[in-house]
């Protein structure tokens, strides 16, 4: 069993009217079975309301499934007694950087997680320094988070999760509120943690460009896994993606249109670099 495994996981949001009667049920996640191996970098892609965030909240045991089961590092998240173990093993970075920073200083925020875990004081300081160093934020440790840029705030949030020594970090649309520069910062940090620290990464996003470095990519639609495969495999199916109201990375789109117009360009081009190479080969 991998670090994250779900089996026929479903989750229903129950809407109630003013009297508390059930007025409707929305199946946000529907029959999802995935298995993520330790050290993998996976990305989950989907448009708004596809259920990707709901799925993410299951990995951190913020939500527990209505049907089916989910295990994180072998622990069933439905076991209420072990919920804190799950949350320590699977850290989560949220969308809005302002709403997840608790500390008045950068270092205090990074120390918040270890404090909650009951780590002794001297080890908290070691963890804080180590995490901030890894995210390149050590020089800001005495700064107020309010004065940082969006990308820097998000890096502080990641450091805060990292200081809890998780096996896996879930990024729930961490770049949705950032400018392009901040987006690059965050994605680079996620990749570095995966490469260097061998931490399993689950990146949830609706930006195609961020998913091309993933080992595996899941596309969600109406709560179901609509497509699964490597980014190359997924992005070569341009028509199917467009059917799911998703675009493809710019370079892929250009390559696809050129191929349709009759140029001999291979499938599955993801980056500008690859497109350049392919075009050179044509000439």
Partner 1 sequence: MVREITIGQYYDEESVIHRLDPRVKLVATLVYIVAIFVVDSIAGYALVALFLAACIMLSKVPVKYIVKGLKPVMIILLLTVVFNMLLTPGETLFKFGIINISKEGLKAGSTMALRLILLITGSSLMTLTTTPNNLTDGMEKLLNPLKYIKVPVHEIAMMMSIALRFIPILLEETDIIMKAQMARGADFESGNIFKRAKAMVPLLVPLFVSAFRRANDLAMAMEARCYRGGDGRTKMKPLKYLRRDYIAYAIIWLFLAGCIVLRILL
Binding residues for partner 1, per CB under 8 A? 60, 62, 84, 87-88, 91-92, 94, 96, 98-105, 107-108, 111-121, 124-125, 128, 146, 160-161, 164
Shorter beta-carbon distance to partner 1: residue 165 or 206: 165
Shorter beta-carbon distance to partner 1: residue 149 or 271: 149
Please state the closest distance from residue 35 (CB atom) to partner 1, in A.
Answer: 23
Question: Of 236, 222, 105, whose CA–CA distance to 160 is shortest?
Answer: 105
Please state the closest distance from residue 245 (CB atom) to partner 1, in A.
Answer: 26
Please state the closest distance from residue 94 (CB atom) to partner 1, in A.
Answer: 6
Rounded distance between C-alpha atoms, residue 87 and residue 67, angstroms: 21
Shorter beta-carbon distance to partner 1: residue 124 or 187: 124
Shorter beta-carbon distance to partner 1: residue 93 or 214: 93
Please state the closest distance from residue 34 (CB atom) to partner 1, in A.
Answer: 20
Please state the closest distance from residue 161 (CB atom) to partner 1, in A.
Answer: 7
Shorter beta-carbon distance to partner 1: residue 169 or 265: 169
Burial of 125 from C-beta contacts in 10 A (0-12 / 13-18 / 19+): middle
Please state the closest distance from residue 127 (CB atom) to partner 1, in A.
Answer: 10
Please state the closest distance from residue 87 (CB atom) to partner 1, in A.
Answer: 5
- Number of other residues whose CB lies within 10 A of the CB of residue 193: 21
Rounded distance between C-alpha atoms, residue 31 and residue 231, angstroms: 23
Shorter beta-carbon distance to partner 1: residue 7 or 130: 130
**Distance linking the first and last C-alpha atoms of the chain:** 48
Shorter beta-carbon distance to partner 1: residue 128 or 248: 128
């Amino acid at each position: 069993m991998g670090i994250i495994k779900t089996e026929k996981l479903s989750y229903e949001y129950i809407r109630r009217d003013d009297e508390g009667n059930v007025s409707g049920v929305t199946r946000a996640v529907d029959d999802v079975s995935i298995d993520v191996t330790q050290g993998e970098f996976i990305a989950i892609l989907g448009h708004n309301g596809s259920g990707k965030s709901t799925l993410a909240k299951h990995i951190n045991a913020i939500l527990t499934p209505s049907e089916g089961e989910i295990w994180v590092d072998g622990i069933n998240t439905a076991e209420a007694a072990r919920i804190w173990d799950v949350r320590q093993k699977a850290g989560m970075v949220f969308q809005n950087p302002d709403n997840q920073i608790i500390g008045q200083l950068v270092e205090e925020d990074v120390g918040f997680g270890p404090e909650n875990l009951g780590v002794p004081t001297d080890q908290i300081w070691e963890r804080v320094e180590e995490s901030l160093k890894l995210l390149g934020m050590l020089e800001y440790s005495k700064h107020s988070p309010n004065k940082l840029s969006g990308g820097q705030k998000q890096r502080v949030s990641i450091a805060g999760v990292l200081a809890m020594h998780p096996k896996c970090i879930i990024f729930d649309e961490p770049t949705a509120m950032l400018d392009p520069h901040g987006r690059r910062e965050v994605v680079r940090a996620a990749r570095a943690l995966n490469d260097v620290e061998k931490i399993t990464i689950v990146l949830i996003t609706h930006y195609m460009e961020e998913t091309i470095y993933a080992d595996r990519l899941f596309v969600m639609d109406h709560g179901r896994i609509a497509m699964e495969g490597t980014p190359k495999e997924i992005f070569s199916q341009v028509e199917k993606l467009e059917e799911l109201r998703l675009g493809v990375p710019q370079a892929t789109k250009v390559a696809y249109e050129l191929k349709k117009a009759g140029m001999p360009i291979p499938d599955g081009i993801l980056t500008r670099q690859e497109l350049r190479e392919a075009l050179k080969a044509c000439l």
